[in-house]
Structure 1
Amino acid sequence: MMNKLTIKKKLLLYGFIIQTLVLVIFSISLHKSLELATLDKLENTLRIVLLDIADDILEHNNFDDLTFNEEDEYKFEPLYIRFSKVDKELKIIKEIDFPKEISNKFEKINLYQNDIIYFEQENSFIISKLKFNINNELYILEIATDNKNLNDTLENLIYILLFIIPIILIFTTVGGYFLIYKSFHPVEQIIKNLKEIKVKDLTKRLQRLENGDEIDSLSSEINNLLQRLEISFDKIYQFSSDASHELKTPLTIIRGEIEIALRKDRSNDEYRETLKNCLDEVIIIQQTVNDLLYLAKIEEQNSLNYEEIYLDEVILESIKELKPFAKLKEVEIQSNIKDASTIKGNSKLVKIAINNILKNAISFSQKESKVLINSFIKDESIYIVIKDFGIGISEDDLKKIFEKFYRTDKSRNKNSGGTGLGLSISQKIIHNHKGTISYESEENIGTKVTIQFTKNSQS
């Protein structure tokens, strides 16, 4: 049953139960405290009256003319008085309306010590007793009153509590409901806003009060989550869009090659040529998918995995890996690394970025030309400059060079196995390492690429 209630109703019910328990415990404690306080007050009054009468008795030699008017004197009623002599049995000397319901056991009186006041409760009476010695004879003075004052006080308290407690519960419940409603109103607004956010549109964000409370912190974290989800969905959408865009052409070519081959019987050489063309396109598809996945992976790189790397060593490794490719293209790689330099980063990723740029420089260089790599430190920055003497890049192409799948020379890039993603990957890697990359080029003269890192920079 409780599980089906909303949190607001649960809080309201729990609050009501807790308040009721607290008020009941408070009422019982108050009742007991008032009972003890009233009883103590009655006993103090009886003690004063008892001592006053005892003094009067001691001043009289003749007990016959004793008059007990303490009820009028102390304005305290009812007041019952009994004065007795303790001998072999109790002999009442004088009494005023002393109730017969109060027992008068001789054996019990013998247990009392002299000159000590005793208090007892019997039936509905409170009795104070004092045993004392007069002329070597024992006497006992007893003063009693009923519990009416005590009972009236406690009864009035019960009536007051029975009237006050429901009113308190009503007001606290209404106040509690108001507080719960006000406290949950921002949460309900969050739920309402979240319902309006759809997968197709993750740009909406929760409104924040900017007051720094828990609800505001929750809204901030939800907005951060939505931001991450939006980025992730955008990446998925971008990946799908890029993949479908780039894979459409090779798949169309493969289909065309197969359909042509199946129209009539072909010779073995023709079938071999068809398969070769299909294989080339499959390789392109595989490389495109790998590059797209790698590009998405780069964006998720965690800088906490970065460590201190030596850029000069990374450059030398990159040159070593691409020397066979340069030899195949009849291009010479020359390096001039002036300073040993370090940055915080991932050596594998940085090498991939340099490899992509260096491979482009080799691919588009003239035969029997050179590709120059210089590395130096200037003004607390590390520079890597890669310069080739190739076909160059036009001014219009330079503006689009980092776009995905963009090729400055589609036929030559296709023949070299490029997908148009190499520079996008390099740019992402360099930016993730807090670096910059820029291109300068003139057609038929050559291209210069400048990579700049801040010394000892961290991503």
Structure 2
Amino acid sequence: MTIRDLLSKKIFYYVILVFVSVLVLFNLVIFVISSVQYQQETTRKQESLVSMIAHLSAQEDETVLTAYLEHYVHNHQVEIVFIDNQEEIIFSNTNVDGNEQYQSVYYDELYVGEVYTNYQTSYLSQEYSFGFILINIFSILLFGVGAMVFSKYLKQQNQAILADLTHMIHEDQVFYFEELGKVNKLLIDAIHKERKHQQVYQDYIKTLAHDLKTPLTALSIYLEAITQKKLTLNQSVEKDINDEIKSIENLIPKMIEMDIDQLAYKHDVSPMILRLLKKYQDVFTSKSIQIDIELEPLVIEIADDDIKRIIENLVFNAFYYSEEGKTIFVKTDESRKELIVKDSGIGMDELTLKHIFNDVYRGEKASKYHAKGSGIGLKIVNDIISNAHGHIKIDSQLNEGTTIKIKFVK
């Protein structure tokens, strides 16, 4: 079916269907309301009639009772049959066939007879029927006028849409309705892609902020160690401080340009790990922490910035949450494609392990031990490993230490 067919035929059919449905629903509601009102009114009239028959029957004046019933029939056009307690027909204006349903009549608990009434031929019934017919006529007229007005409006809109479509297609080409579905899918895909880019952008900003925190923390440790005379300001220390300043300077263009394309390539990451560990040797020395290094060639496909983030996050976490004089163990295993970082620090409880990869989450003990932590380091590591189709496993015991194993794709 083409769009032209849909606009010229189907929409009008749907409009007719909607109008008919509304008309039927409207009449159904009116019918229910009218039926309830009719039943209430006939019940009220019936109770009044029975009460008067009981009163007149108790007076044993048959002439007055008959005159009243004749007057009632004349005013209301209702069928009435009254039989007294002697089973004699006192009044009847209709044929009696014995199938009528009678209502017993009592006067102060004294049985005086039975009465049959039929209001279907009454003026009341005629009034309700006539009113219902008028409402139906009004509904049909309203439906006709509404359909004409709405059809005229739809025709104008259809002509405008068809005119626009004429500019979109060639004279010998048919534009099918299914193509609108394809366009809609492209729009939805574009929206999802834009949302994904926004999420990548936000994660990128968080990662850069965390990358900026690492050299700033190192500078803070250098300054504190020099101030407390735990470290001597010599050429080696000056070089390390200058390297940290350059690291900050290198991050600034990335934050300005927002370059989120980091190329991963297959290479041995062990030399870079060794350089990073030696780079922060003076930082570890400030707390008398030893680094036990056991590196095998580890060839994996990963970006340099990503392996740098992994090592800095894991090793600095071990540094922050270890007491003075402890040892941090760093190992790479070529056969298993694993990177292992182990410490004997404060460790983590089960609740912390359960939420450790949540954004900005820190365990209660970690927050007290190292108040300046951001809580996103391990999440960044986990995101990097997940994107590289790897797996991270954390084993930790409170007050005993933590072992982190990262398994890369072989």
**TM-score bucket of the superposed structures, by smaller chain:** 0.3 to 0.5
**Higher Cα Rg: structure 1 or 2?**
1
Normalised by the size of structure 2, how large is the TM-score?
0.43
Higher helix share goes to which structure? 2
